[in-house]
Amino acid sequence: MRLYSPVGTIACILAFGSSLHAQLPSGSIGGITRDPSGRLIQGAHITATNERQGTTREGATGADGSFTLSNLEPGSYTVVLASTGFADVRYSNVQIEAGKSITLDTTLSVAAQTSTIDVNSNSRRDVDLTQSMIQGQITSQTIASIPLNGRNFLELAYLVPGNRPAPTFDPTKTNTLEVSSAGGFGRGGNITVDGGDNNDEVVGGTLSNFPEDSIQEFQIATARFTAEVGRSGNSIINIVTKTGTNQYHGSLFFYERNRNLQALPATFDRSLPTPPFDREQYGATLGGPIRKEKAWLFTGFEYRDQNAALQTGTRNFTTSQIQNTSAPSPLREALWSTRYDQQLSAKNTLMARYSFNRSTDTGEATPSQTTPSFTSAERQNSLNRFNSLVAGLTTVLSPTRINNFSFHYDNFYNDIPPYSPSAPTTNPQLNLTNELIFPDIADGANFNLPQATFLNRYQFGDAYSWSFGKHALRLGGEFQHYTAHGEINVFGTGTVILTTNFAFADLNGDGKINDLDIPEAVGIKSSAPVTPVPIPKVFNGYLAFYAQDDWRVLPRLTLNLGLRWEYDSNLTGTSSAHDPCPNLTTVPTNPCTWMANVIDLKKSPDMKDFSPRIGFAYDPFGLGKTVVRGGYGIYYDRIILESGAEELVQNDRALTVTQYAGSYCVSPFVPGPPSLNACFAPQASFGTGSPSLAAPFSGPHQTGGVGMIGMGPDSHHPLVQQFSLGFQQQFGDS
């Protein structure tokens, strides 16, 4: 956890692309059925059969000839349309993808006797004619066929326009892959796995990783998603894990990247020797039936053993230059995911998944000030551990009504201890125990360590789907309760900001020119009754309700209408821990906010976070190959728990930050009192009692009131407005 304040923005997005049905780990099939004269057929029977599991879903066309089969597991289906007096039409290999709607408008032929017309759906890729969202889908074929350096499947999200890698924004994210969508920073977005939240509520971004071979597919919507998903102002990523099938199948793999094949990385200094790099990744999957057409199991495991290098730097005292070097950056990561599915009855289907992720790595720490380079001492050792459990029950209430209930629990633990005191620095004689920030390089013990983070979350959701007439209505709600606590030691070892990379004169008069002669700009150090400083437990209760209707107004025009309401109970600090402290001179026994004694910080939760969303999809020529789509929506981004925790930690009582004045010198060429500027004049020397690296925290200082955090009473969720307009054209029939 790194403490700084979030910034909310308002954005307007103009985007072009394809569409998205619903942000759930399922897809749907819909269409209109007619006879040869064009008249609508009521009561036609629809059957969709999962080709790998043998499960079926049934439905019927209404008075307007339309039908919808929703909440279908991703996979390959055979769809049969049948009506008395007409030949059956059978679509084979209909690919259902997460969050996508397949349109099968069909004209039935008159038949004197029972007959079947076969259509190979794989020979055509129809444009989605009913949805208005901006999205892309990464299918199982793409995941299996595109090699990935490191085997993190989320890298495939970069294939979708509008997405790019996000920078590392927190010490806990050195080994996670963050996706920046629609210009976002990577903290926002909403990532779900099998419908369960996979977002870091403390600092933002992604939580757990999963074995690549356990992922069936995923979709990413960069803008204009439906009311079924919230807590994001830019994108959603909807991930679906693999299930077992009626056939036993498995895999075993081992990949090695040997150090003898390593080339000098493009970003490394070309004059340096090639740093060592080797990686071994191995794993296995196994899936199949426990009972055919009734129960299935799939499990996957993966392990990564990697020895890499970071480009670091050192100060070369002979040339007075920053010289590029490298330092070891090992990584060990274990991934495991197991999923169980069971057809309890003709109307009820159960799924449950457990996933585990554990990693240890040595990576770059985040210096308190940005510098072009850092030494090997500015690294950190990090431990991350994740557990996730998801369970869901899908109930077919009738051919047109389906209910899906889900439960999710996950926890996260991160630990970053103090980095090894034996780590080499650029000047071992200094015996550094604090951080030094030179103009071009950071050295010494990182200002932000040690730290630890704990997160626990419970999530419940219910989604009800009802298809009637020309409407596909979805109603639902969601509740989450999560807590976080931890510890941190910001500036506990102190940070000294220096004015030059090397000494240039004997300012201390000891007859030598070395680091003890470098003028100090400022020193920052904190103190606390207990170190590391415990972060009091912060919590939040999230509640949301939504309604989404896809209304096929005309055969060639569909409106997507949605409304969502969201509520967070404590994200802006409304609990008793954010009340004023009872005593201003002593450390309180219970968590409180000292800033509230000085400034009115009383806040109330947002109660009016309503998010209307409207879109359209129009087929201008009626050929099923062209669609014009667009829409508008209001979205509220999440507020991370770190924001409220700042008031409880950086409050001048639990953690007191002291700022020390820098060096001051005298020179016969600079009149007036001693000053920092005089240190750079001829014949300069440190003034009496001047701070330097020999005693960096000895100068005049301001204790308290430095770096204090308080969220104002008008703090609200960031509001984002999105507008999109575009078209999609299919060329050819495949």
Q: Quick one: CA torsion of 39, 626, 623, 94, rounded to 10 degrees?
A: -80
d(CA 72, CA 56): 10
Is 706 buried (19+), middle (13-18) or exposed (0-12) by CB count in 10 A?
A: middle
Q: What is the mean pLDDT of the chain?
A: 86
Q: What is the pLDDT of residues 491-532, one digit of tens each?
A: 888 999 999 999 999 999 999 999 999 999 999 998 887 788
Q: 548 vs 640, which has greater pLDDT?
A: 548
pLDDT at 237 over 60: yes
Q: 356 vs 75, which has greater pLDDT?
A: 356
CB 633 within 8 A of CB 614: yes
Q: What is the pLDDT of residues 378-397, one digit of tens each?
A: 899 999 999 999 999 999 99
Beta carbons within 10 angstroms of residue 243's beta carbon: 22
27-126 CATH fold:
Immunoglobulin-like (2.60.40)
pTM: 0.85
Handedness of CA 682, 698, 369, 593 (dihedral sign): negative
Angstrom distances, CA of residue 672 to CA of 499, 661, 676, 701: 21, 18, 12, 22
d(CA 352, CA 110): 45
Q: Closest Cα partner for 216 from 141, 154, 288, 163? A: 141
pLDDT at 704 over 80: no
Q: What are phi and psi of 648, to 5 degrees?
A: -85, -20
Q: Closest Cα partner for 488 from 640, 645, 377? A: 645
Q: What is the pLDDT of residues 195-211, one digit of tens each?
A: 999 999 998 889 999 99
Task: Show me where the domains of the chain are located.
Answer: 27-126
Please list, in sequence order, all residues whose beta carbon lies within 8 angstroms of the beta carbon of residue 258, skipping any fewer than 6 positions away: 278
Q: What share of the chain is helix, strand, coil (3-state, %, to 5)?
A: 5, 50, 45
Q: Closest Cα partner for 390 from 182, 636, 208, 221? A: 208
pLDDT at 124 over 60: no
* Single-letter residue type at 54: G
